[in-house]
């Protein structure tokens, strides 16, 4: 079975590595021309697999390369570009894609972020058959996992959904080779779609409940970083913990500045922040941060 892999970053590299170890016939690798594609390109080069680095998958030379490579199957392993419908029609066995949610819930580019932001207690991954829609194709297989109360988007992805995704793609390839891969239509009545998690949603409102604030910080950690302001300057908050104990302070008021956390009063308790970052700086601890912006106990954030 001739396979084309389209991917980028550490996930794309690890998927390619797993396919090579399985002895699969990877006939071509497509990856972006910037740093996102460097490591997978280097692995393809070492493994003597033809690689291509188009700026966009819609470029005519991509179609030409696909046709010349004659893939039976195409695998999408962390792809942020749009795959044209014409490319999907080339491999006779189809194109499969990894998506880190239990589709049809949380379609879109920030599915892990939104699962945490919206307070889900379980999520997972889906290997789906790609079609012309955004994460709308039939389901090949799914794996479900628990979202821990202290999970962030980063921990959930790197500790669980990343390694599980590599194994799931390998399992999907085996099912396809055996002729046992299902195509289960998604239930459109249960579908949700959220736009990318960016600063449009990352602003903290300390008038909201402690759970909403805590989930937003976790869901935006590490990217884009939930943010608030002090003296008109934006900064981002990470490594959150929550303590449902009343402080008697106004929402957004700094309760304490300690080595292990900046404590902020919210409705229903206190949010403890372990790391902070000015927009163009590095993450630093609470005491160092407070000194750098002259933040004191009793000051209010977001005002």
Residue range 66-102, pLDDT digits in tens = 999 999 999 999 999 999 999 999 999 999 999 999 9
**Please, what is the angle between helix 9-21 and helix 38-46, to 10°?**
20
Neighbours of 158 (CB within 10 A): 14
303 pLDDT above the threshold of 80: no
What band does 247 get if pLDDT is binned at 50, 70 and 90?
Answer: confident
pLDDT at 169 > cutoff 80? yes
Residue listed under structure tokens 């005519």: 60
Query: Is residue 204 in some structural domain?
Result: no
* pLDDT of 206 over the 90 cut: yes
Asked whether residue 298 is assigned to any structural domain, the reply reads no
Q: What pLDDT is recorded for position 273?
A: 98
**Helix, strand, coil share of the chain (percent; to 5):** 30, 30, 40
Co-location of 185 and 275 in the same domain: no
Does the pLDDT value for residue 249 go beyond 90? Answer: yes
Tokens found for residue 168: 């799931």
Identify whether residues 34 and 111 lie together within a single domain: yes
Q: The domain that contains 242 carries what CATH number?
A: 3.10.25.10
CA distance to 87, 89, 246, 257, 277, per residue, from 261 (Å): 51, 54, 17, 6, 13
Q: Record the tokens describing residue 29, joined without a space.
A: 């690798």
Single out the residue in 162, 190, 218 at which a domain terminates.
Answer: 190
Q: Would 139 be classed as within a structural domain?
A: yes
Taking 90 as the threshold, does the pLDDT of residue 279 lie above it?
A: no
How many domains is the chain built from?
2
Flag whether pLDDT at 129 surpasses 80. yes
Same domain, 115 and 185: yes
Residue 25 lies in a domain: yes
What is the domain range of residue 250?
210-293
Please give the C-alpha separations between residue 39 and each of 11, 36, 43, 52, 104, in angstroms, as whole numbers: 10, 8, 6, 13, 31
Q: What pLDDT is stored for residue 52 in this prediction?
A: 98
Q: Judge whether 196 lies within some domain.
A: no
Q: Do 134 and 242 lie in a common domain? A: no
Check pLDDT > 80 for residue 153.
yes
- Half-sphere exposure (CA, 13 Å, Cβ side) for 183? 11
Phi and psi at 250, nearest 5°, equal -75, 150
Q: Are residues 12 and 120 in the same domain?
A: yes
Same domain, 25 and 63: yes
Question: Are 136 and 107 contacting, i.e. CB atoms less than 8 angstroms apart?
Answer: yes
Q: Which two tokens stand for residue 100?
A: 């880190």
With 80 as the cut, is the pLDDT of residue 12 above it?
Answer: yes
- Confidence class for position 287, pLDDT limits 50, 70, 90: very high
Percent of the chain with pLDDT over 90: 98
Tell me if 301 is assigned to some domain.
no
**Residue 33 covered by a domain:** yes
User: Based on the domain organization, do 138 and 216 belong to the same domain?
Assistant: no
**Residues 172 and 127 sit within 8 Å (Cβ to Cβ):** yes
- Residue 246's pLDDT band, with cuts at 50, 70 and 90, is confident
**Which two three-digit tokens encode residue 194?**
């959220």
| 288 within some domain | yes
Q: Are residues 104 and 157 in the same domain?
A: yes
My answer on whether 167 and 221 are in the same domain is no
Q: Are 144 and 158 in contact (CB under 8 A)?
A: no
Beta-carbon-side half-sphere exposure of residue 302 (alpha carbons within 13 Å): 20
Statement to judge: residues 152 and 45 lie in one domain: yes
At 280, the pLDDT band (50, 70, 90 cuts) reads confident
Same-domain status, 42 and 154: yes
Same domain membership, residue 126 and residue 20: yes
């Amino acid at each position: 079975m001739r396979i084309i892999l389209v991917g980028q970053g550490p996930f794309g590299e690890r998927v390619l590595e797993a396919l090579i170890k399985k002895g699969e016939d990877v006939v071509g690798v497509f990856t972006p021309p910037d740093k996102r594609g460097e490591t997978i390109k280097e692995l393809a080069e070492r493994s003597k697999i033809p690689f291509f680095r188009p700026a966009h998958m819609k470029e005519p030379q991509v179609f030409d390369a696909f046709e010349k490579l004659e893939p039976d199957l195409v695998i999408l392993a962390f792809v942020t570009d749009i795959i044209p419908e014409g490319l999907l029609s080339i491999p006779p066995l189809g194109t499969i894609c990894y998506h880190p949610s239990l589709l049809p819930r949380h379609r879109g580019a920030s599915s892990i972020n939104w699962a945490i932001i919206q307070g889900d207690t379980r999520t997972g991954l889906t290997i789906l058959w790609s079609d012309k829609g955004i994460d709308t194709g039939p389901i090949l297989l799914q794996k479900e996992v628990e979202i821990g109360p202290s999970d962030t988007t980063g921990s959930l992805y790197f500790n669980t959904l990343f390694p599980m995704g590599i194994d799931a793609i390998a399992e999907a390839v085996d099912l396809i080779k055996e002729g046992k891969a299902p195509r289960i239509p998604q239930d459109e009545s249960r579908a949700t779609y959220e736009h990318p998690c960016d600063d449009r949603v990352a602003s903290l409102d300390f008038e909201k409940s402690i759970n909403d604030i805590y989930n937003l910080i976790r869901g935006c950690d590490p990217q884009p970083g939930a943010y608030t302001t002090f003296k008109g300057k934006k900064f981002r908050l990470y490594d959150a913990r929550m303590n449902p104990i009343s402080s008697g302070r106004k929402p957004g008021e700094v309760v304490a500045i300690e080595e292990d956390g900046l404590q902020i009063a919210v409705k229903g308790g206190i949010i403890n922040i372990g790391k902070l970052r000015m927009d163009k700086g590095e993450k630093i601890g609470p005491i160092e941060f407070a000194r750098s912006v002259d933040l004191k106990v009793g000051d209010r954030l977001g005002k």
